[in-house]
Structures are given as C-alpha cells and as structure tokens.
Structure 1
Amino acid sequence: MHLNLFAHGCGHHSAAWRAPGSAVDRLGDVTWWEDLARTAERGRFDAVFLADGQALSPTPGPSWFLEPVTALTRATTRIGLVSTISSTFWDPFHTARLSASLDHISGGRAGINVVTSMTDAEARNHGMDRLPDHEERYARAAEFIGAVTALWESWPAGSPPTAAVPVDHHGHFFDVDGPLNIPATPQGHPVLFQAGASEPGRDLAARYAEGVYAVAWDLDSARDYRMDLRRRAAEYGRDPDNLVIMPGLVTFVGATEEEARAKQRELNELLPVADSLRQLSFFVGRDTAGWALDEPVPDLPPLAEFTGPAGRYATILRILASSPNGRPTVRDLLGYLAAGGGHATFVGTPEQIADEMERWVVNGAADGFNLMPPTLPGGLDDVVDLVVPVLQERGLFRREYTADTLRGHLTSRCRHHAA
C-alpha cells in the first residue's frame, strides 16, 4: 500500500500543542520538519506532505508556519515532497517555475497538492473581499492546472532553449504566453495531487490528479468515494489504476488496546473547549458557541444546502448518522473531530492498526493512507517503528525503495485491494 506523512504543526490533534513535551516552540525551526521527513523516509513512506494557508488557521493551536515549497528540499534523498498550492491565489507561471525547480533540486521527488482555499480571511490577504463562489473556484482550478501542465511541458528535457515552445494560454482566468524558463524535470513534471470532495472537486481530481487525499470516516464511505473517482477517471479516458486514493488516517498506537485508548483520552482531556467549538462553527457554517456540551448535536441541514468545505461537512453528517450509540453529544463530536477533523481514526495495538489498514485496502476503500499523526514526533514514531514492520511482514508495504522518483513510488502498485 502507499503511505504519505501529512506533517502538521505539533500533530493533528487539536490539543497536541498543549501536551507535555510538545514541540510548539520549534515550528519555525526547519530542522524540526526535516527530522519528521527523515523519519518518514526511514519508514519508506511515498511522500511527506505539507498543507498551507494564506491566513491564520481557523483551527485551534498553531498549524502551518513555514511555506511548504522549499521547506524540506535538503533533508532527504528518496521520499517524495508534496507542497500545497492555492489555485485561487497563485498564478500558473510562478507555480510551474517553483515546483519545477523543486523537482530538479530533489532529483524528481516533487509534487503539488492543488487546493481552492477555504476562508474569506485568506481572500482578504490577496485583494479580495471574499472567496469567489465554489463553482468559480473550481473552474479557475481546472484552467490553472491546464496552464501549469502546459508550462511544465513547454521545454523538452535535453533540448536547447530554442526548442522551447510558447503555450499561448489565453483563457477566462489566466493569460500565459510561456514557455517556462526551466526545462522538463527528472520525472517529466511534478506529480499532481488533489483533494476533491464536492461534485466539481471530484471531477477535477478524476480528470487531472495522480494522487488524491480523501476524507472518509468509515470503510463504506471511503469505498464509495474511491469507486466514484475511479468511474469518473475512466469516463475521462484515464486508466483508474493510475489514480492513487489515500484517505486521511489518524492512529493511536499502544502495546495494548487499553494503552492506546488512554493516549487518545489523555489528549482529549487537554482539548480547549471554546477553541474547539469555534472550529466546529467553521466546519458546520453556524455558531456553535451556545451548544450544550452534553446534549445531542442539533439537527444540521443536508449537504446540498451547505456552502462551506463540503468534505468535512459530509464527514460530520456521516459521524452523526453512523454513531453506534445513537446521536452523539456535542462533547462526543468534539472528541471525534479533535484529531484530524473527522478522518478515519484507528486505535489499538500495531497488529490491530495493521488489520484495519489491510481491511480497507483489500475491500477497495483505499490504495493507501495519508497518515495524520495526532502528536509529533511520537505518533509518527509509533507508526514507523511499530506498525510499518507488521505491514512489511504481511507483504503489504515496501521494505526498500524501488524507485528514485515520487511518481515511481506511486506507480508501485498494491496487489491486495479489490478494484
């Protein structure tokens, strides 16, 4: 299977920065991020992925700090390096040039995760009163990807500058003459990732992406999503097997299940409730400050009536509908969302975690996972040192790298999942 590290702040749990021994004072130190990348490379992960935003994060605690494009270029030799790029705020030429430079510098290990951004606060840092509407953002993203791809391909590798050809892109959102002033990169061009959840987002991912970061609370929703994207990819004339779909995964690992659940409980007890309610307000598009913590979560409108980040909202609706003990309380929901915002959460021994990962892959719910450790570096160390060896022993994960490029890592196919 495929594994990415999604490195984020002190960890994906909203209280990770408050935990004893957290690295909250090191987030501006590039060696902190480099150490995480080296650990993921020791675990033979496909890539390390950094999110990014254009304003302060709406989530509790510190999150992004250094810009992601150049943060990890010097630390590793084999693992892929994926940076988040906003098609709403970036322009194609700068994107193509920076990412192509990273691919050359890293020897063919670069990827970009194209997002459309989420908050009006980001828009106000780029001369806009608010974000464009959802449909316009995704139309811009599709044109953006087309222009960037044309620039990446405009100067063939091994050719003199005179062989470069203009792209002459003149669309609704962008005018780009080209060519790019950097020749084609070691892997042809950087790998394109996307994280579409809405209808236009899924179409964008199916049409262009090589890797997809997904939000899925349970196996059934993950399998439905993966099957839908594979179907859409085939309709665009693509081989669905060239699309690697990696749901986010939060893991709490212990020598026993009780120890793992104690780790989860101890972090949840550090949760800043007021901040968490503000985060929930962002996720559901309404003020939750007055919600009673120990009462059931109030009714929420259907997904079709929601105009915010569709993937996270759909996950919350899924949690509310599938809770085994009836409708969860607000306090319950905050706990579910605390680590990763509603991504799949596996709690148990290394063998139990590996069992569940294998079950998802075998049953067609994932090609691998975008690991979101609840704490860093401890949550990452637990997976690399305890879970990965179990996967390797079962023949589910590589023991050594067999490729030198990120695209090479991703095209090393898993043989165990259902189509």
Structure 2
Amino acid sequence: MSKRTLHLNVNVISAGAHPAAWRLPEANPRAFFDPAHYADIAKIAEAGLFDTAFMADNSYLHPEGYPNSGLDPIVTLSAMAAATSRIGLVGSYSTTFHHPYGIARSFASLDHLSGGRVGWNVVTSRNKPEGRNHGFTDLPDRETRYARATEAVEVVTALWDSWKPGALVLDTESGVAVDRGLIKPIDYVGEHYSVAGPLQLPPSPQGRPLITQAGGSEGGIDLAARFADAVFTSALFIEPAREAYAKLKAAVARHGRSPESIAVMPGINPVVGSTEEEARRRVAEHNEIVGQAGDPVERFAKWVGVDPAGLDPDQPFPLELLKSTGDTYSSVGFDTATRLYLERNRHRTVRELAADGRQGHRTLVGSAERVADDLEEWFRTGAADGFVIQFDTLPGGLELFIEHVVPLLQRKGIFRWEYGENTLRERFAVPYTRG
C-alpha cells in the first residue's frame, strides 16, 4: 500500500479573503470571463504538484460586487485541460439544474479530452436566483434535492458503466468497431428520472471520473458515503473537524466501503509571508488598497442571516438571533461552522467580528512555517486528508504558497516530490470498480 500523502487543491475562482480582491493591482479584473486566466492558474498549480484545480459554479449574476462565476465549468476546464498534462480538473455541476445524461456525457467527454484527469463535484443548489433561471418558482426542499441528487448519481454512474469490458473492439480487418452485446441499456426508472441509456461513449482512461461532494447535512453525508471519492468540507476548528472526519468515515464503512476510499478536504484561506508580521502586513496593504466594499457590519449581518438593525456593533453578537442550523435553503456545513465561530468568539464585539471578514472557511495568516505546521497537524491527527485552498489573490497567493509552503510539506514527508500517477483516480488511490 502506498504511503498516505496530503491532497492539495486550488479553488480557481476563489475571491480570497477579501470581497474586493479583484481590484488589487496584481489581480486580473477580467478573470470571471477569461479562460486564459484559469488555464494559467492550472499551469502554475501543476508546476507546484497540486492534486487538482477545482472550479465551483453558480448560474446567476450576483446582484452585488464582483461577478465571480461567469464561465461554464465544462468549457473552462476544457481550456485548463488543453494547457496542462498532469493536474486533476474538478468542476461543479448541479443535479437540480442539469439532466443526468448530459452530466454523464459532458464529464466523460472531458475525461477523454484530459486523459483521465477529471472529477465531477455533485451539488444540489440552494440559491433561489439560480432556481428562477432554471424555471423554479421555488427550489425543492433539501430532502427532495438530495433524493434527486441520489438518483442523478445512480444514473450517471450507471451510464459511465454501460460499456462492459471488451465492448470497444476497433478491429479494422473484421470491420467490427464495437461489440453491441457488451453495451447495455441502463433502463433506469426512478421518482425523478427515467433514462434508457447506454452512454454513447466508452469508458474514459480512468474508467470513470472521480466524484466529489460538499454537502454537510445528513442527506449530504449519506450521499458522500455512498458515492463520493472526496468530500469538501467547512471546518474552522480542529476538534470539531476530527469529529466530522470520523463521522463521515464511519458512514462510508456502513455502506460497505473502505474509509480510506474517501478523502476529506476542508477549505482554507492562507495568506503567507516570510514572517507572521509580513503576512499580516500583506492583509493590511490589501485592505488599504481596496477598502471595504460597503458597511462591514451590514455584510457581517447578511452573512450570518440576521437583521443588521438588531445588532449593536460595540456589543457581543447575540447568539439567540441565529436561525436554526440547516434552514431549507442554507448550507448545513457553513451554518455549523458559523455557529461554532460565533460561540467561540462570544467575548468579542460585532464590529471586531465583522473586521475578520466572512469565516466560512478557516483563514491562516502567518509564516510559511506556521502554515505548513498547521496543515501537518490537521493531516496527521485525523482532521483532514487534504485541503481546498482559496488564495487572497490569484495567481500571486498560489505562487507564494508553492514557493514557500510546498517545500516545507515535502520535507515533512507528507507531500509528493513529483507526479507518480497518470489519472486522478490513481492520485486519490481509488481504483475504478464497476457499479
């Protein structure tokens, strides 16, 4: 069995630690509609031996601030695939808005294009404006969204498996291209989908794309435990992260899978300097250049889901104002992280909390040594198998991390010195097994 190593993944559309980071002199303000920008990030991450470049998605124009998610993930990941040869490429596609046959075909196509380096991040979508763009007056509730997602993953994986071994013949002498007897319809009929199949493509170089997932609700955990090869999480503190890690691994085992077959990867926002003082100075300089986008207390109130009129900026946050975790259209993972953050900072004022910025993912500001030590602790003590990294600027923050943090992780013996695998499944040590 190969030695366990840390998984590092860059979020290519990260806005970083500041909502107006796009205004910085080193930033590309055209990034949200510039495929070349994402291709450059993928090339830099590949030079740093990252596992994947990850592209989140939404399908509506946010009414405030930087547009952020403009390009379609499949199109953008195709440009990134053409610019690279080793790094994995993971994209989000919603099971609420996209039909399973289209998902299966698109990601299988991209997996062939990339030589087996692709992953599908399964999302159920919870933003009402997205729903209206796809014909929903109201989005389905969480239970329905996850039931629909479960069926969608069942359909997609069945389509990917619909060509049996030996189905692709391509014998020019006999004139036999495929063995039709080994290409089977899936004839799936469920509550939400009816799909005949088979897929019109043979299996990709890695068998089928990697499956990732990011939901923290009970439905999300069950979906991940059944199907996912990797899970993206929100975790601000190490003790709850260890508990969540153990809970997910146990759920995987209950579904008859090896707990080692799934990688748990919290999100982090690192800001790296040669010293902690330099890193904090970098944050301060960015804040000075771009200023604050709107009133920070109002932004803070919107983030936690309360009326800003009910907050006294110079008093601690009143925890009783928080909604129950897991409102129908909220993220359970982010809700849980937010509640823990506010409970552990109950001695601080609202103004101080607002100055921290949004804390959906953990922020690490410090020297390369401090950042590397922190990642090692989470990795070695059962809190994480890797991380999805959102940088303060792209590609600048990524380049600093690769130059200063990656060598430390390599010397600690927890990160690769070279790519030893050809496909993404090999990199995550999850061999293809047919459903």
- Aligned partner of 1:287: which letter? D
1:182 aligns with 2:182: no
Counterpart of 2:363 (choices 322, 341, 345) is 345
Which residue does the alignment assign to 2:136? Answer: 128
Would the alpha carbon gap of residues 378 and 240 (structure 1) be closer, same or farther in structure 2, given more than 3 Å must change? same
- 2:269 touches 2:361 (CA, 8 Å); kept in 1? yes
Which residue does the alignment assign to 2:375? Answer: 357
Which runs of 5 or more residues in structure 2 are unaligned? 1-5, 168-177
Structure 1 Cα separation of the partners of residues 370 and 110 of structure 2 = 38
Q: Deviations over 1:197-223 (max 9, x none)?
A: 111111111111001001001111211
1:16 aligns with 2:21: yes
Would the alpha carbon gap of residues 283 and 135 (structure 1) be closer, same or farther in structure 2, given more than 3 Å must change? farther
Q: Deviations over 1:225-279 (max 9, x none)?
A: 1111001111111100001011001101001110111222333454535376665
- 2:305 touches 2:323 (CA, 8 Å); kept in 1? no
1:317 aligns with 2:339: yes
Structure 1 Cα separation of the partners of residues 253 and 133 of structure 2 = 39
Counterpart of 1:90 (choices 98, 102, 125) is 98
Spell out structure 1 runs of 4+ moving beyond 4 A: 275-282
Spell out the pairing of 1:44-59 with structure 2 (5 A cutoff): 44-57=49-62
1:219 aligns with 2:238: yes
Q: Deviations over 1:111-169 (max 9, x none)?
A: 01010112110000111102111111111111110010000100135511612100011
Structure 2 Cα separation of the partners of residues 156 and 13 of structure 1 = 49
- Aligned partner of 1:18: which letter? R
Which residue does the alignment assign to 1:379? Answer: 397
- Aligned partner of 2:251: which letter? R
- 1:9 touches 1:64 (CA, 8 Å); kept in 2? no
Structure 2 Cα separation of the partners of residues 346 and 355 of structure 1 = 11
- Aligned partner of 2:332: which letter? A
C-alpha displacement of 1:82? 0.4
Which residue does the alignment assign to 1:416? Answer: none
- 1:9 touches 1:62 (CA, 8 Å); kept in 2? no
Would the alpha carbon gap of residues 92 and 192 (structure 1) be closer, same or farther in structure 2, given more than 3 Å must change? same
Structure 2 Cα separation of the partners of residues 224 and 58 of structure 1 = 37
What's the secondary structure of 1:94's corresponding residue?
helix
What's the secondary structure of 1:112's corresponding residue?
strand
Q: TM-score, normalised by structure 1?
A: 0.92
1:369 aligns with 2:366: no
Spell out the pairing of 1:49-88 with structure 2 (5 A cutoff): 49-57=54-62, 60-71=65-76, 72-88=80-96
- Aligned partner of 1:40: which letter? A
Structure 1 Cα separation of the partners of residues 29 and 14 of structure 2 = 8
1:31 aligns with 2:36: yes
Spell out the pairing of 1:119-268 with structure 2 (5 A cutoff): 119-156=127-164, 158-159=166-167, 160=178, 162=180, 163-268=182-287
Q: Deviations over 1:85-111 (max 9, x none)?
A: 101100100000000000000000010
What's the secondary structure of 2:347's corresponding residue?
coil
Would the alpha carbon gap of residues 377 and 210 (structure 1) be closer, same or farther in structure 2, given more than 3 Å must change? same
Report the more deviating stretch, 115-124 or 52-61: 52-61
Structure 2 Cα separation of the partners of residues 173 and 294 of structure 1 = 50
C-alpha displacement of 1:26? 3.6
- Structure index of larger Rg: 2
Which residue does the alignment assign to 1:417? Answer: none
Structure 2 Cα separation of the partners of residues 53 and 149 of structure 1 = 23
Would the alpha carbon gap of residues 194 and 5 (structure 1) be closer, same or farther in structure 2, given more than 3 Å must change? same
Spell out the pairing of 1:229-308 with structure 2 (5 A cutoff): 229-269=248-288, 270=290, 272-274=292-294, 280=300, 283-288=303-308, 291-299=311-319, 300-301=321-322, 303-304=324-325, 306-307=327-328, 308=330
- 1:14 touches 1:271 (CA, 8 Å); kept in 2? no
- 2:301 touches 2:308 (CA, 8 Å); kept in 1? yes
What's the secondary structure of 1:166's corresponding residue?
coil
Structure 2 Cα separation of the partners of residues 93 and 281 of structure 1 = 40
- 2:55 touches 2:91 (CA, 8 Å); kept in 1? yes
Which runs of 5 or more residues in structure 1 are unaligned? 414-419
Structure 1 Cα separation of the partners of residues 403 and 430 of structure 2 = 22
- 1:246 touches 1:370 (CA, 8 Å); kept in 2? yes
Which residue does the alignment assign to 2:171? Answer: none
- Aligned partner of 1:306: which letter? D
Which residue does the alignment assign to 2:172? Answer: none
Structure 1 Cα separation of the partners of residues 201 and 354 of structure 2 = 47
Would the alpha carbon gap of residues 392 and 289 (structure 1) be closer, same or farther in structure 2, given more than 3 Å must change? farther
**Aligned alpha-carbon RMSD (Å):** 2.1
Would the alpha carbon gap of residues 154 and 79 (structure 1) be closer, same or farther in structure 2, given more than 3 Å must change? same
Q: Deviations over 1:148-192 (max 9, x none)?
A: 000010013551161210001110011100000011111110000
C-alpha displacement of 1:301? 3.2
Structure 1 Cα separation of the partners of residues 127 and 96 of structure 2 = 11
Would the alpha carbon gap of residues 371 and 202 (structure 1) be closer, same or farther in structure 2, given more than 3 Å must change? same
Counterpart of 2:349 (choices 323, 329, 332) is 329
Structure 2 Cα separation of the partners of residues 289 and 158 of structure 1 = 66
Report the more deviating stretch, 293-302 or 112-121: 293-302
- Aligned partner of 2:306: which letter? R
- Aligned partner of 1:331: which letter? R
- Aligned partner of 1:351: which letter? E
Aligned length: 409
